[in-house]
């Protein structure tokens, strides 16, 4: 075999039988990550992809250069006040990772320091330099970055492979010394007790489910750490956090549809945890501390959630604070000493409502653009009248505002710089609506260069996700400018299974209604063609993870509707994965997809749409599948098996597989590596729509 020929995966029949249905999986062997044959096959696929895209090398370099020259490489985030310091992250030209820093705050200083040209601030103290930590490693990520209440100690965790299994360490910021405390194989998140010497963290079970919360005392061996809570129900994940008031440690227990929260006083960290409200199947709630009460955001008799409270001293009955309003989905509540700030969504848009607690009327913060995304930024202080928020649209770069909670006045602290000749007036954004098979109106967000023809001649990219109630709200992208400036339209399909239109939108795209997700996306593609934004032979579909399942499903459902499909870390072998409870995440996913192991109806329904089981011998659009060897969330074998079977069944299909051999679910970790990855995908897209010249 040469790199100019598509690899041929060997076939090793493997039978499985469920509910009387026997199927043969000839590429089951690709699940063996450590098998030399598996590695050789992935490397052969990479070599073939390299050869097949060699003609795009110059374009890739051009695109990478465009991203790089539009990005302010040496830059600094808006500092955030916590105690006696202002905390921020900065980047330096030529370096892959951020540098975490702080400077001392003057007494009474409420306005963040001027960030100037984005270089180090006077009096800067470097807390962590990601570049030094990463060293020569191909991959690097932080899992937790957590300062003790007094600001003296920093707990942080690192991952050098992409498998999201971290090592926890503690740094004494007074001396710069790395303490001997170290814990292997921890998960995300941690919480400090008020004493500054007790740290809570979580670990995972064999299925990569965070199931234990531990208590560690600084200066003692990890072997002496105490299990504070162990969750036996395999549907539930555990998390741990400190309230903004710094009064309580929260232990969050969540399945896909049910919640339970335990609390520990931060000044008495060895106290047994107390339950706020026992779990009830189908009832979700989250907790925020506020003075004498715990605020509870919940869906008990409230599909789009309501806000209630209960006593701190004796948690029990809930008293309603904000009633349920169908169509207004309450997402989050942030509590401050004199105000509550509620994040919400309504009519497909996000919003922020301020609730003063001193008699003034609640108000919504207004924004001028027709489509946008807004939400809370880091707000570390409890006693404050300033609320920091993040605002962005398809044409407006990421912007950081401080809102005076008493007056509602917004102060722009920073808008992400876009270098070169960028002018937002050169682009236009639109909100349009497709009509789904069942008559449902599905929102689409669209951005294009001003003057883009509406005669069907423009190429387009349609992005989608549609799972887990995750909303693909409008976002700004510097790499996307390279598409828009070449006349490519970019659109986001806000399909069911996401949360854009409230909880019902999610419910109508999961379990035995999952196919709505796929048909909604096809309807959005048809709308773009009907509205003359593009034509089918110029339209590229793109999605990742569960959105990669979407890509595989629509490739089977409507192959002639697309010129190409980009599937990133795609969940395309979903049925086989959800049938195997030994795999990471499987049991926790049963409330999202159904349990095909126990329910023959779920089995039959999933088998009718999952991409790997429904490949045909017909022609497919060009496909680029991108994955990572160390991905824990969607294992690499899913796209590898999918591509192998697709190539065998439809040998004339233009299909490529690109595997990152040293990364995880998010792909390359360094920013320059990530830009090169995006340049690779963008070049492939431009090639398939005739814009590679």
- Any idea which residues carry the catalytic annotation? 545, 631, 665
Q: Please give the order of strands across the beta sheet that includes 237-242.
A: 237-242, 248-254, 259-265, 274-275
Q: Residue 350 — φ and ψ, nearest 5°?
A: -80, 160
Contact (CB, 8 A) for 294 and 276? yes
460-464 vs 489-493, strand pairing mode: parallel
349-356 vs 363-364, strand pairing mode: antiparallel
| Alpha helix (H) residue ranges in 407-513 | 478-484, 503-507
CB hemisphere CA count around 573 (13 angstroms) = 25
Q: Which of 500, 354, 372, 524 is nearest to 437 (CA)?
A: 524
Q: Which of 540, 518, 536, 544 is nearest to 625 (CA)?
A: 544
Contact (CB, 8 A) for 505 and 587? no
Beta bridge partners of 433: 443
The single-letter DSSP state of residue 498 is: B
Contact (CB, 8 A) for 36 and 81? no
Distance between CA 25 and CA 23 in Å, rounded?
7
- Would you state the structure tokens that stand for residue 289, as one six-digit string? 């501390």
| Alpha helix (H) residue ranges in 442-585 | 478-484, 503-507, 515-530, 546-557, 574-578
Distance between CA 177 and CA 159 in Å, rounded?
21
Distance between CA 658 and CA 654 in Å, rounded?
13
Distance between CA 686 and CA 459 in Å, rounded?
9
> Where is 88: in which H helix or E strand?
strand 85-91
Number of H helices, E strands in the chain: 12, 38
Distance between CA 243 and CA 295 in Å, rounded?
11
Contact (CB, 8 A) for 222 and 183? yes
CB hemisphere CA count around 640 (13 angstroms) = 31
> Where is 66: in which H helix or E strand?
helix 57-70
Which H, E and C letters describe 15-52, residue by residue?
Answer: EEEECCEEEECCCHHHHCCCCHHHHHHHHHHHHHHHHH
Contact (CB, 8 A) for 84 and 104? yes
For residue 110, the tally of other CB atoms under 10 A from its CB is 12
Contact (CB, 8 A) for 292 and 306? no
């Amino acid at each position: 075999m040469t790199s100019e020929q598509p690899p041929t995966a060997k076939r090793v029949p493997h039978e499985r039988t469920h509910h009387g249905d026997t199927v043969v999986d000839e590429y089951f062997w690709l699940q063996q990550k450590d098998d030399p044959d598996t590695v050789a096959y992935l490397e052969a696929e990479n070599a073939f992809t390299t050869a097949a895209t060699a003609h795009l090398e110059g374009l890739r370099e051009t695109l990478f250069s465009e991203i790089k020259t539009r990005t302010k490489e040496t830059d600094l985030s808006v500092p955030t006040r916590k105690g006696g310091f202002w905390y921020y992250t900065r980047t330096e030209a030529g370096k892959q990772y951020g540098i975490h820093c702080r400077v001392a705050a003057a007494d009474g200083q409420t306005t963040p320091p001027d960030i100037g040209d984005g270089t180090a601030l006077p009096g800067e103290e470097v807390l962590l330099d990601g570049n030094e930590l990463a060293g020569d490693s191909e991959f690097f990520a932080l899992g937790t970055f957590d300062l003790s209440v007094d600001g003296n100690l920093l707990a942080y965790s690192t991952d050098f492979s992409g498998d999201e299994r971290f090592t926890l360490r503690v740094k004494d910021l007074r001396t710069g010394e790395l303490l001997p405390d170290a814990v292997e194989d921890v998960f995300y998140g941690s919480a400090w007790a008020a004493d500054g010497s007790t740290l809570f963290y979580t670990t995972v079970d064999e299925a990569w489910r965070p199931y234990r919360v531990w208590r560690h005392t600084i200066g003692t061996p990890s072997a002496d750490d105490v299990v504070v809570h162990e969750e036996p129900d395999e549907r539930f994940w555990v998390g741990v956090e400190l309230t903004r008031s710094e009064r309580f440690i929260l232990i969050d227990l969540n399945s896909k549809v049910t919640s339970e929260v335990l609390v520990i006083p931060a000044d008495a960290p060895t106290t047994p945890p107390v339950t706020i409200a026992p779990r009830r199947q189908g009832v979700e709630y989250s907790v925020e501390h506020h003075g004498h009460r715990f605020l509870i955001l919940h869906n008990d008799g409230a599909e789009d959630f309501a806000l209630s409270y209960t006593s701190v001293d004796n948690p029990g009955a809930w008293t309603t604070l904000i009633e349920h309003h169908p169509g207004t989905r309450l997402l989050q509540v942030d509590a401050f000493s004199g105000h509550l700030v509620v994040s919400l969504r309504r009519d497909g848009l996000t919003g922020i409502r301020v609730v003063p607690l001193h008699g003034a009327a609640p108000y919504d913060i207004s924004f001028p653009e027709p489509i946008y995304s807004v939400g809370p930024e880091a707000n570390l202080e409890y006693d404050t009248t300033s609320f920091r928020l993040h605002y962005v649209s398809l044409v407006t770069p990421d912007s950081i505002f401080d809102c005076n909670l008493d007056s509602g006045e917004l102060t722009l602290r920073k808008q992400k710089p876009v270098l070169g000749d960028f002018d937002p007036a050169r682009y236009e954004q639109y909100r349009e609506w497709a009509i789904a098979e069942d008559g449902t109106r599905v929102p689409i967000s669209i951005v294009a260069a001003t003057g883009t023809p509406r005669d069907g001649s423009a190429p387009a990219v349609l992005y989608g996700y549609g799972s887990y109630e995750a909303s693909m709200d409008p976002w700004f992208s510097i790499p996307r400018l390279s598409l828009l400036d070449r006349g490519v339209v970019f659109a986001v399909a806000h399909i069911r299974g996401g949360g854009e239109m409230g909880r019902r939108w999610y419910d109508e795209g999961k379990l035995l209604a999952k196919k709505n997700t796929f048909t909604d996306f096809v309807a959005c593609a048809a709308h773009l063609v009907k509205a003359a934004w593009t034509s089918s032979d110029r339209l590229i579909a793109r999605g990742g993870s569960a959105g990669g399942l979407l890509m595989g499903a629509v490739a089977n459902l409507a192959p002639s509707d697309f010129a190409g499909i980009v599937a990133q870390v795609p969940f395309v072998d979903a049925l086989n994965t959800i049938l195997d409870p030994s795999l990471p995440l499987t049991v926790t996913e049963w409330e999202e997809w159904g349990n095909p192991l126990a329910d023959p109806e779920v089995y039959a329904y999933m088998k009718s749409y999952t991409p790997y089981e429904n490949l045909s011998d017909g022609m497919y659009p060009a496909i680029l599948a991108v994955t990572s060897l160390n991905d824990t969330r969607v294992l690499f074998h899913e796209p590898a098996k999918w591509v192998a079977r697709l190539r065998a069944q439809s040998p004339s299909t233009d299909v490529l597989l690109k595997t990152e051999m040293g990364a995880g679910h998010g792909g390359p970790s360094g920013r320059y590596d990530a830009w090169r990855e995006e340049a690779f995908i963008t070049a492939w897209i431009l090639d398939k729509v005739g814009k590679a010249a």
